[in-house]
Amino acid sequence: MAKVTMKEPTVVAMLGLGEAGTGLAAGLMGEWRGADASRRVIAVDTALGDNLRGAAIQDRARDLGVAIEGRYTPALAHADVVFCAVTGVEARNAALAARDFLRPGTLYFDINTLTGPQTIDIARDMTKAGIDYVDFAAMGGFAACGHKVPFVLAGPAAARAADWMRPYGFVTRIMSARAGDASAVKIIRSVMVKGIEALGVECLVAARRAGLLDEVLDCFCDIDARGFAGMVKSLTTTHPVHAKRRMEEMDKAIENLRELGVEPFMSERTRQSHARTVDAGVAPDDGNLVSFEDTIELLSKNVVKGLP
């Protein structure tokens, strides 16, 4: 298949100028626009009229050198590329509001946190209008990495979009030509990452109260040797065999948290999860491990039940 090239855009529009939008806009102003005055970054943020947030958004836009408006206007018709960085709740409304002004062939990056099916629905609506929708998922935080956070792209226009982005410092990986795949990976990843965040709060507050914060952090060094994905695979593979012992260990952990005056909010749920596996009776009689793939299949069929 011949490589699809893209005419260099002259106007990029940001929908939303929060943390994500600001990180993207700053990167574009520095590496895409640079000293080329023929290139412009414009923005729309409907919170511009908010008494509490509006002034801060206006200051942010001024500091970046980005022209901003508080509503969707015909100015969007000049955009060759659009980055939508509002919220998951507002993603569909933003897409439909912008669609009324965008020209066919506009490259539309949807960076909002959505489920796969929600992304597919928005992509369908935008594609019907001739807009090239890109499922665009950030796998990291903008506060630390700015526009160089790792991105995963999906959808029919993903390859063309990535080819345009890479020369300007974007770190991109094409997942598939099917919109929804990148969003689905990000939201499922959030089960792990946000869960770790919640566990981190519980664990490290307890460590601080015990006067052992640095010591507890040092004890995570074994994970560095295996890598995070390796650790998760190892724990999952050994889960059916060791769920009972680990459940009993969580009983002691819960006791310790209470001794330190920490509500075992996450730890009690962890204990329940292990108990679910114990109650399912999936531990092998011979105590031998099976492959990671077979373990996932076993847990999916016999332990992690679907909704009624």
41 and 123 share a domain? yes
Length of the chain: 308
At position 147, the amino acid (one-letter code) is H
114 and 225 share a domain? no
106 and 17 share a domain? yes
Residue where a domain terminates, one of 159, 182, 205: 182
How far CA 142 is from CA of 22, 26, 137, in Å, comes to 9, 11, 12
Query: pLDDT digits over 157-179, tens only?
Result: 999 999 999 999 999 999 999 99
Cα separation, 84 vs 75, whole angstroms: 15
What pLDDT shows up at residue 5? 52
36 and 106 share a domain? yes
102 and 175 share a domain? yes
Query: pLDDT digits over 226-283, tens only?
Result: 899 999 999 999 999 999 999 999 999 999 999 999 999 999 999 999 999 999 999 9
* E strand or H helix that includes residue 34: none
Residue the block writes with tokens 């089960």: 191
For residue 3, tell me if it sits in a domain: no
Query: How confident is residue 4, by pLDDT bands cut at 50, 70 and 90?
Result: very low
For residue 203, tell me if it sits in a domain: no
236 and 97 share a domain? no
139 and 238 share a domain? no
At position 47, the amino acid (one-letter code) is A
How far CA 286 is from CA of 232, 248, 277, 290, in Å, comes to 23, 21, 17, 11
CATH of the domain at 81: 3.40.50.720
Cα separation, 69 vs 49, whole angstroms: 10
For residue 191, tell me if it sits in a domain: no
Which tokens sit at 193? 């990452």
Residue where a domain terminates, one of 158, 182, 206: 182
88 and 25 share a domain? yes
What pLDDT shows up at residue 2? 40
For residue 188, tell me if it sits in a domain: no
173 and 35 share a domain? yes
What pLDDT shows up at residue 1? 34
pLDDT of residue 58 exceeding 90, the answer is yes
- Residue 280's domain comprises 220-302
Q: Over range 202-222, report the average pLDDT.
A: 95
Cα separation, 16 vs 31, whole angstroms: 20
For residue 199, tell me if it sits in a domain: no
35 and 82 share a domain? yes
pLDDT of residue 6 exceeding 80, the answer is no
273 and 154 share a domain? no
Q: Over range 33-39, report the average pLDDT.
A: 92
Domain count, the chain: 2
For residue 198, tell me if it sits in a domain: no
What pLDDT shows up at residue 308? 56
Determine whether 111 is exposed, middle or buried from the number of CB atoms within 10 Å of its CB (0-12, 13-18, 19+). buried
Residue the block writes with tokens 């590496």: 31
142 and 233 share a domain? no
Cα separation, 91 vs 74, whole angstroms: 19
For residue 261, tell me if it sits in a domain: yes
For residue 177, tell me if it sits in a domain: yes
